[in-house]
Amino acid sequence: MPSKIGVVGLGYVGLTLTAALAEKGFTVYGADVSPAILDSLSRGRPHIFEPGIDDIFANRIGKDIFVSTELPADVEVAVISVSTPVDDITRRPNLANLAAAARAVAAACRPGTLVVVRSTVPVGTSRNVVLPELQAAWGDDVKLVMAPERTIQGQALRELVELPQVIGGLDEASLAAGVEFFSGLAQTIQTVSGLETAELVKLTNNCHTDLIYSFGNEIALIAERHGLDPLEVIRATNVDYPRPDIAKPGYVGGGCLSKDPYILIDSAGDRPPFLVGKARELNEYLPIHVGETIVKMLKEARGRSLGARLAVLGWAYKGWPATDDMRGTPIATMMRVFSAAGITVIGHDPLVSDDVIRQYGGEPVSLDKAFTDADAVLIINDHPDYRAIRIPDILGGAKPAFIYDSWRVLDEAAVRAAGIRYAGLGYLPAVETAAVAA
């Protein structure tokens, strides 16, 4: 069993893996090119929010977790977990970070070191991009596996242990080394026939999630056109019905779901998938649609959008499990719509810092002021703090004209009883039925 592990790339994937490995008794050497990240981690302060990792780094940094710009030569396993971003214009994956990481591993480590690709990549990348870099330095003495990360933010430390770890190897020796290593972390190992199969497993997981969420959003948009409640439709559809449940409508973001469909499309070559691109297109359209709906509702309620104040609750891409991750957040798209309409946006998020809210164009406010200092309120994510809101307690003398509750976490009856119009994704009850009492 190897004991000294290197992790190249200390973003979300690398950071959580480092913490989980250290908890299992491994000595972990993390490498990153960012001086700011290395400085923060060297003081035991993770730069990313994830339950549990703060304590692990505070207690283990300098003991069995070490960070630097490069790996020591004597690590027995080198895990590559660098980002593989998708170009905003072409939507093609950029694999420069991955190639650079493979070169760095080949230069720093000894031939025969087990190399694990953990980054999400197009099918064929481990063999066609990583392997040549290793062979150029090590010849044929290469052990290489693809072992995708499949955790959900907010539960990563648990899922790294409990989820089956899929492993595909370059050859039998590589696969055996990969199984031996990950058996020290994960409870279950699922081997597959090769590198490419493991690459496609990760893409299949995330793109299927994007697709099933898109269908719930499709139903919501259709329900809205007919004045129906999409949650009523979906609840009735799912009750004691033996086929797969329909997902509730909701925004689909994050570092994986907002880019991995494009990586799968790239993997398909000159025969694009029929469904994946359309599902992503729909999910990317939803924040635009909501933004435009908010502008229309403000004009109806206040006679204008220019100069109106909109309170936005929830700037991270999701509320539960809680995160501060802004990758793929719907507010980034919505802000362009709001700015064009002349709307002033004030914002609140339990985990996202005031500085980040300002960077995205918002004015940070407290939760209570969001309901008293705005013409309207938009709830974007379902953080538990928002689920706990009691409308009678949070309202002041000045009330918003409407609350657009994207995840339907508030008490609709209480909102309407307060004389405030209530709406949600695909759900726009008429004004006259919403404003029942002042």
pLDDT given for residue 432 in this prediction: 55
Quick one: pLDDT at residue 208? 96
3-class DSSP state of 166:
strand
* Through-space distance between the first and last CA atoms of the chain, rounded to whole angstroms: 69
Mean pLDDT by 10 residues, the chain (438 residues): 96 98 98 97 95 97 97 98 96 97 98 98 98 98 98 96 98 98 98 98 97 98 98 97 93 94 96 96 98 97 92 97 95 98 98 97 96 96 97 91 98 97 96 47
Contact predicate 84/121, CB 8 Å: yes
What is the bridge-based pairing of β-strands 165-169 and 143-146? antiparallel
User: Tokens representing 315?
Assistant: 């700037």
- The rounded distance, in Å, linking the Cα atoms of 378 and 386 is 11
Question: For 170-275, where are the E strands, in sequence order?
Answer: 189-192
Cα 138 from chain centroid? 36
Residues 324/351, Cβ–Cβ less than 8 Å? yes
Peptide bond just before 321 cis, omega within 30 deg: yes
Residue with tokens 């909501």: 290
- Please count the residues of the chain: 438
Indicate the burial class of 366 (C-beta count within 10 angstroms; 0-12, 13-18, 19 or more): exposed
Q: What is the pLDDT of residue 397?
A: 83
Residue 12 has a CB neighbour count (10 Å cut-off) of 24
Instruction: Please tell me what DSSP assigns to residue 193.
Output: S
For the chain, domains (ranges, CATH) are 4-193 (3.40.50.720), 203-275 (1.10.1040.10), 280-434 (3.40.50.720)
Both tokens of 138, joined, read 């090590």
Q: In what order do the strands lie in the sheet with 309-313?
A: 363-364, 344-348, 309-313, 376-379, 402-405, 421-423
What DSSP assignment string belongs to 98-160?
HHHHHHHHHHHSPTT-EEEE-S---TTHIIIIIHHHHHHHHTT--EEEE------TTSHHHHH
pLDDT at 433: 44
- Alpha-carbon distances, residue 3 vs 6, 131, 182, 190, 361 (angstroms): 10, 24, 11, 22, 46
pLDDT at 244: 82
d(CA 291, CA 51): 32
Residue type (1 letter), 115: V
Question: Token digits for 436?
Answer: 């029942």
What is the distance, to the nearest Å, from the Cα of residue 267 to the centroid of all Cα atoms in its chain? 21
Half-sphere exposure for 92 (CA within 13 Å, toward CB): 5
The C-alpha angle 426, 431, 434, rounded to 5 degrees, equals 85
Question: pLDDT value at position 398?
Answer: 87
